[in-house]
């Protein structure tokens, strides 16, 4: 088996790309090192969808000369504070956050700056909001309350001071809960993103003569016939990259992000689906519905803004017909519409209720407008005709006796077949997500082969006799389109550091475009 995925160029590359959006950064001139914490966002296709457990938070260790990443470490919780030991090549990294229900969880990581290894020092979970070395022996911490009953966690914390003779010999979970007891002090949630931004911007300009622009989660990529590459990502409706590797234009979307791209057949315009981040309306969370906008591919100008307060997902087919699918769970009135290739919109159509996990059913290269339709007997794959008629195709689940919930994932239409991903979530307290890629016969939906995955599928495309699949574990696998046999698999790396693919598209000529969780687009040969 030959590993045959070679990254040829990287679009959107920049210093500190590996950590995504920074939360805290610390510089040690004597050690010639920068340690930064950040987040790349949830690994699923969009927040709330199924994942196989890969975290969103990162810790990067960078050399001050050249800002090359030496080590990239996952963090279970957001990174709040970083403190360098006065003498030892050691950093105390405090992490944690509120779990949204009752507890403030986190840990103290002791990071060896020479080896990149970490030790989790607490015997129990506790959010660390600040860390400061008083001297070589003593580390002062401010911790969040353990839970809602212990105090107002967003305004108060607890001071603790930990002493050790040799911090390099600390075993895991060596600091007991009793040692973390201390006086109540004013405290707010940790992290200093604005200061981190300023620090990383200044370092990038001084050390690399480069601009630091936080990026994360490229949710969709599309090649154009003229060699340009389109990308949609958090904070960006759509952007265009020239064949030279320079960014031609960008259409930003503060407070939101691009999720899908549907390019018109003449490649003069493209639909972009926009997802807005939740906001606050007084004490309540306010959700702004997803929208779909038509943008010019000449300069990114919005030709047709989102015109409805109804949340929609955009789906296209190869001849230019577009469906704006109403994504409300139980709409009181129909709101799904069809848009013709000449931009004429149909009257509202009633396709029934919608289930949120069905958002991930994105099928590339399809002559049909495909969607997942919940029914009393389970979810089925259906096609919407330009006339407004719905053509039921076959059940999403090919195994009627499975007895567990099945969620649809990305797919690709092949001649006489549909290849798509699914995820299974067994019931019970210790649920483990299982994922599969299946080839279904177009006439009837019978499975022709099934490939089991160790992680959730984030994207899929095909060219010739090969299906390429991106997994949220960071792997890309190549399968035989006809028989489903594994041809090769590769863990994605950029400059020697791991990353994961969140989108994927195959242009002509044996190449593949892979959008990554840290905001880059990889142009690779396979």
pLDDT at position 290 is 82
pLDDT at position 286 is 62
pLDDT digits (tens, 9 = 90+) for 94-109: 999 988 788 899 999 9
DSSP summary character for residue 147: B
**Distance in angstroms (rounded) separating the CA atoms of residues 217 and 12:** 12
pTM for the whole thing?
0.93
Q: Which residue has the higher pLDDT, 336 or 331?
A: 336
pLDDT at position 320 is 96
Q: What pairs with residue 313 in β-bridges?
A: 325
The dihedral region occupied by 519, where left means phi > 0, alpha psi between -120 and 50, and beta the remainder, is left
DSSP summary character for residue 345: B
The whole-number average pLDDT for the span 119-126 is 96
pLDDT at 151 over 70: no
The number of beta carbons lying within 10 Å of the beta carbon of residue 271 is 21
pLDDT at 431 over 70: no
pLDDT at position 99 is 83
**Distance in angstroms (rounded) separating the CA atoms of residues 3 and 477:** 10
pLDDT at position 357 is 64
pLDDT at position 460 is 97
Exposure class string for 20-56: b at 16+ Cβ within 10 A, else e: bbbbbbbbbeebebbbbbbbbbbbbbbeebbbbebeb
If you write DSSP's letter for every residue of 91-145 in order, what string do you get?
A: EEEEEEEE-SSSBEEEEEEEEETTT--EEE-BSS---EEEEEESSSSEEEEEEE-
pLDDT at position 324 is 94
The whole-number average pLDDT for the span 247-267 is 94
pLDDT at 392 over 60: yes
Residue 310's pLDDT band, with cuts at 50, 70 and 90, is confident
DSSP summary character for residue 226: T
**Distance in angstroms (rounded) separating the CA atoms of residues 249 and 159:** 49
Angstrom distances, CA of residue 337 to CA of 89, 231, 271, 341, 487? 61, 25, 14, 13, 41
pLDDT at position 1 is 37
pLDDT at 36 over 90: yes
8 A C-beta contact, residue 19 and residue 26: no
For each of the domains in the chain, give its residue range(s) and CATH number, in order of start: 14-208 (2.40.128), 218-525 (2.130.10.10)
pLDDT digits (tens, 9 = 90+) for 394-411: 999 998 878 777 889 899
pLDDT at 47 over 70: no
pLDDT at 510 over 60: yes
pLDDT at 513 over 70: yes
Q: Which residue has the higher pLDDT, 333 or 470?
A: 470
The whole-number average pLDDT for the span 327-350 is 90
pLDDT digits (tens, 9 = 90+) for 65-93: 999 999 999 999 999 999 999 999 999 99
**Distance in angstroms (rounded) separating the CA atoms of residues 48 and 53:** 12
Average pLDDT of the residues of the chain: 91
What percent of the chain is modeled with pLDDT above 70? 92
Torsion of Cα atoms, 462 then 463 then 467 then 470, to 10°? -60
| Of the candidates 413, 415, 416, 422, the residue with the CA atom closest to the CA atom of residue 395 | 422
Residue carrying structure tokens 């957001």: 78
pLDDT at 48 over 50: no
């Amino acid at each position: 088996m030959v590993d045959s995925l070679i990254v040829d160029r990287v679009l959107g590359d920049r210093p500190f790309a590996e950590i995504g959006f920074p939360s805290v950064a610390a510089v040690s001139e004597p050690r010639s090192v920068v340690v930064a914490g950040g987040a790349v966002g949830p690994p699923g296709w969009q927040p709330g969808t199924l994942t196989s457990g890969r975290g969103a938070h990162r810790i990067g260790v960078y050399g001050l000369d050249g800002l090359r990443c030496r080590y990239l470490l996952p963090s279970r919780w957001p990174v709040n504070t970083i403190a360098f030991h006065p003498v030892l090549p050691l950093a105390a990294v405090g992490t944690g956050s509120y779990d949204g229900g009752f507890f403030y969880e986190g840990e103290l990581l002791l990071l060896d700056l020479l080896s990149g290894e970490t030790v989790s020092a607490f015997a129990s979970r506790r959010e660390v909001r600040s860390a400061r070395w008083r001297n070589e022996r003593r580390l002062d911490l401010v911790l969040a309350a353990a839970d809602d009953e212990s105090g107002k966690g967003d305004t108060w914390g607890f001071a603790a001071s930990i002493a050790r003779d040799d911090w390099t010999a600390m075993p895991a979970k060596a600091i007991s809960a009793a040692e973390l007891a201390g006086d109540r002090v004013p405290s707010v949630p940790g992290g200093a993103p604005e200061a981190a931004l300023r620090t990383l911007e200044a370092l990038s300009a001084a050390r690399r003569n480069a601009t630091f622009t936080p990026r994360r989660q490229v949710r969709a990529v599309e090649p154009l016939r003229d060699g340009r590459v389109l990308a949609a990502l958090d904070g960006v409706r759509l952007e265009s990259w020239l064949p030279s590797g320079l960014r031609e234009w960008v259409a930003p979307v503060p407070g939101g992000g691009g999720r899908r791209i549907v390019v018109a057949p003449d490649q003069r315009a493209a639909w972009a689906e926009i997802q807005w981040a939740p906001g606050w309306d007084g004490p309540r969370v306010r959700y702004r519905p997803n929208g779909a906008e038509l943008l010019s591919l000449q300069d990114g100008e919005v030709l047709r803004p989102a015109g409805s307060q109804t949340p929609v997902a955009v789906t296209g087919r190869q001849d230019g017909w577009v469906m704006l699918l109403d994504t409300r769970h139980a709409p009181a009135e129909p709101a799904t519409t069809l848009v013709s290739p000449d931009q004429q919109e149909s009257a509202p159509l009633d396709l029934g209720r919608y289930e949120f996990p069905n958002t991930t059913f994105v099928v590339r290269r399809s002559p049909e407008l495909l969607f997942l339709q919940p029914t009393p007997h389970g979810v089925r794959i259906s096609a919407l005709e330009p006339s407004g008629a719905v053509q039921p195709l076959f059940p999403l689940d090919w195994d009627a006796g499975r007895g567990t919930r099945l969620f649809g994932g990305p797919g690709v239409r092949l001649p006489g077949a549909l290849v798509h991903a699914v995820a299974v979530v067994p019931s019970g307290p210790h649920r483990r997500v299982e994922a599969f890629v299946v080839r279904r016969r177009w006439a009837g939906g019978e499975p022709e082969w099934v490939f089991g995955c160790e992680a959730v599928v984030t994207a899929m495309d095909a060219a010739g006799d090969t299906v390429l699949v991106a997994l949220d574990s960071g792997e890309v696998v190549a399968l035989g389109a006809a028989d489903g046999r594994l041809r090769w698999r590769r863990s994605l790396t950029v400059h020697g550091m791991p990353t994961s693919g969140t989108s994927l598209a195959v242009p002509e000529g044996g190449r593949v475009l892979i959008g990554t969780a840290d905001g880059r687009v990889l142009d690779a040969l396979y």
